[in-house]
Amino acid sequence: MLACCTFSAFGQQNYSVEKIDPSLIKNADAVIRENQVVIEVEAIDEVTIKTFRVVTVFNESGDSYTRALEFYDESSKINEQEAIIYDSRGEEVDKIKSRDFKDQSNFDSFILFSDNRVSYLNYTPRQYPYTVAYTSEVETNNSVFLPDWFPMEGYDVSVEKSSYRLLNPGNIPLRSIERNFQGFEIANNNTKHELEYHLTNAPAVEYEILSPSLKSFVPRLLVALDKFHLEGVDGVASNWEEMGKWMYDELVAEHDQIPAATIQKVTNLTSDASTIEEKARRIYQYVQDNTRYIAVMYGIGGWEPALAADVDRLGYGDCKALTNYTMALLKSQGIESYYSVVYGGEKRNIDPEFTKMQGNHVILNIPNEKGEDFWLECTSQEDPFNYLGDFTDDRYVLRVKPDGGELVKTRRYSEDDNLQKTKCEIELDGDGNFTASLERSSFGVPYGEVYRLESKTEKDRKEYYLDEWSRFQNITFSKIDFENRRDTIEFRESIDFSGARLATKAGKRLLLPLSFIQQEQVSLGKNEDRKRPVKLLRGRSYEDDFVFMLPEGFQIETLPENKILLTEYGQMSIEISSSENDGKESIHVKRKMKIREGEWEAEKYPDFRKFIYNVNHLNGLKAVIVQSNT
């Protein structure tokens, strides 16, 4: 049947750049001239995927959109792979056969073993624009990962034509869901057991700062079979409960045996712990002290965790193995916990409305009847107990239980949780140079951004602060100390340093910036034709206390007024006062700022931009101090 679905033959069409509609060239790094994907499911363990793809690339930023590559492993093979290169006039300049594609293992340096490989076009263009016409055919035994349709593949890429066809001659129960189709030229010719979609003439989407993720507003088609196959194992799942049950039975069950000697060690370790939380804390620390993270693509397509006994013996594992090992140790002490599948990295949810194999990471969930559940990142040797940070916070995960799966959400860090508190005394000299003593505490997501400084070398620590405080000149450090309070998840920095020209000299006067440590500055363009909402993924709070001790013989000439800024996006206040001690004046600055998490319609962008402008203005306030005549 697949033979009937032939693609346009190479060379039959004119791929001259002149043939592209000017509306598709506007703002485009590349134009997808044609992208045809045909999937035939002969059986749950017999799938063929054919691709014909033509992409015109206008600049270096568009090179990645050629996407002339295929992944394969022991359960799949590449039957065909070929590319033809055309110049701007549509004339053929090169042909790359399958044997000329570059083939290499698809793993990073920290992966110990993987049979995953990638075959890809390694082409350096002679000039821009150029066009790549690519064809491939891949066979696989795994039907659990049927390709979805994502025709608009990124920012700054237009689409002339994109099509997706799924043939299902065996009439295997099939599910699909359409997302964000409104407003696009999309046609379909679907039947109960087969799918066919076509998109045409979609202009490039320009990136807009602080906008929702691309996938939230461009077309997507999600596809899954109710009956599927993964590396020799069949499965049936049409909802998350069934998917979790299958994952537990086939991937997780009977992987939790650990040696009696290890159980005894853990029993001794936790014998005087009076609560489940304290026992779990000690076991988590034991895992961190005795294992390390190395990715091992083990069993059933890399989705099966290594045996707990093997992790115990070897002392290493990937996220699946280390999570399973921690779960086994907790179980040995009667503590219930659950293997949980999640998308790690950019905030992304497992889709609660559509069941299929999703996620790229595994963490551990420990139910807590007295409050919020505990969550453990088992790959880290440094993370505190029950700390997720921005890698897996506030998103749906699939909790895998013996009686089935369930979707639950990980912890959300609010703007009050994400707090940085800074206290700093700054002593000035008559030339505007300074010596400072700083104390800073970080909580929530900011904790995760700084706590690894503790394990850095002295050189790396200094480089970090030189980069953070690059506006200061000639910085030298006399003290850099840290205190990592893992139990309360607080990281404290104590830093003594000096630098030149904090204040600008103007005759007898010094112009003194009052925001000694500035928060991250955001510059927002006018974006008058804003199309998408403003979205802030996480809120954050700052509380700063700066004391400036004036040089001998200087006095305050001008202080800015206190300011309060209140908006729906956040708030900021700055209080400025002065005092005198033994004839020496000082300026005291208290600054508080809160940025709220949220999403606001595009029409509010100018108002939001004004808020950021006002924040930056308040951060730029200066005092004027003057040398007395005496």
Look at residue 340 in the predicted model and tell me its pLDDT.
98
Is residue 267, in this structure, part of any structural domain at all? yes
Look-up: residue for tokens 């363009």? 525
Query: Does residue 76 sit in the same domain as residue 193?
Result: yes
Query: Does residue 33 sit in the same domain as residue 150?
Result: yes
The parent domain of residue 558 ranges over 419-438+501-627
Query: Does residue 149 sit in the same domain as residue 292?
Result: no
Q: Which residue has the higher pLDDT, 296 or 430?
A: 430
CATH number for the domain including 263? Answer: 3.10.620.30
Query: Does residue 48 sit in the same domain as residue 149?
Result: yes
As for how many domains the chain has, the answer is 3
Look-up: residue for tokens 């003594």? 496
- 115: pLDDT confidence band, cut at 50, 70 and 90? low
Query: Does residue 612 sit in the same domain as residue 514?
Result: yes
Burial class (CB in 10 A: 0-12, 13-18, 19+), 453: middle
72 DSSP β-pair partners: 117
Query: Does residue 208 sit in the same domain as residue 251?
Result: no
For the cut 60, the answer to whether the pLDDT of residue 214 exceeds it is yes
Query: Does residue 219 sit in the same domain as residue 320?
Result: no
Q: Is 404:418 a contact under the CB 8 Å cutoff?
A: no
Locate 83 and state its tokens.
Answer: 């590319």
- 300: pLDDT confidence band, cut at 50, 70 and 90? low
Measured between alpha carbons, how far is 54 from 324 in angstroms, rounded to an integer? 44
Q: Pick from 164, 197, 223: which residue ends a domain?
A: 223
- Alpha carbon separation from 615 to 115, 151, 524, 596, 621 (Å, rounded): 52, 39, 12, 14, 10
| pLDDT, average across residues 373-386 | 97
Is residue 121, in this structure, part of any structural domain at all? yes
Is residue 560, in this structure, part of any structural domain at all? yes
Residue 82 CB partners (closer than 8 Å, separation 6+): 10, 95, 96, 97, 98, 134, 135, 136
Q: Pick from 223, 248, 271: which residue ends a domain?
A: 223
Measured between alpha carbons, how far is 47 from 76 in angstroms, rounded to an integer? 9
Is residue 23, in this structure, part of any structural domain at all? yes
Query: Does residue 279 sit in the same domain as residue 203?
Result: no
| pLDDT, average across residues 383-390 | 98
Measured between alpha carbons, how far is 392 from 119 in angstroms, rounded to an integer? 31
Look at residue 121 in the predicted model and tell me its pLDDT.
95
Is residue 558, in this structure, part of any structural domain at all? yes
For the cut 80, the answer to whether the pLDDT of residue 286 exceeds it is yes
Is residue 7, in this structure, part of any structural domain at all? yes
Look at residue 522 in the predicted model and tell me its pLDDT.
77
Look-up: residue for tokens 């110049």? 87
Segments of 60-154 assigned E as strands: 69-72, 76-86, 92-96, 102-105, 111-113, 117-120, 130-140
- Per-residue pLDDT of 506-561, as tens digits, reads 999 999 999 999 877 778 999 889 999 999 999 999 999 999 999 999 999 999 99
Locate 154 and state its tokens.
Answer: 């990124």
CATH number for the domain including 507? Answer: 2.60.120.1130
- 582: pLDDT confidence band, cut at 50, 70 and 90? confident
| Among 511, 524, 522, CA closest to 624 | 511
Locate 156 and state its tokens.
Answer: 């700054």
Is residue 479, in this structure, part of any structural domain at all? no
Query: Does residue 279 sit in the same domain as residue 404?
Result: yes
Q: Pick from 194, 223, 252: which residue ends a domain?
A: 223
Query: Does residue 377 sit in the same domain as residue 524?
Result: no
Q: Is 606:537 a contact under the CB 8 Å cutoff?
A: no
Taken in order 113, 115, 116, 121, the sign of the CA dihedral is positive
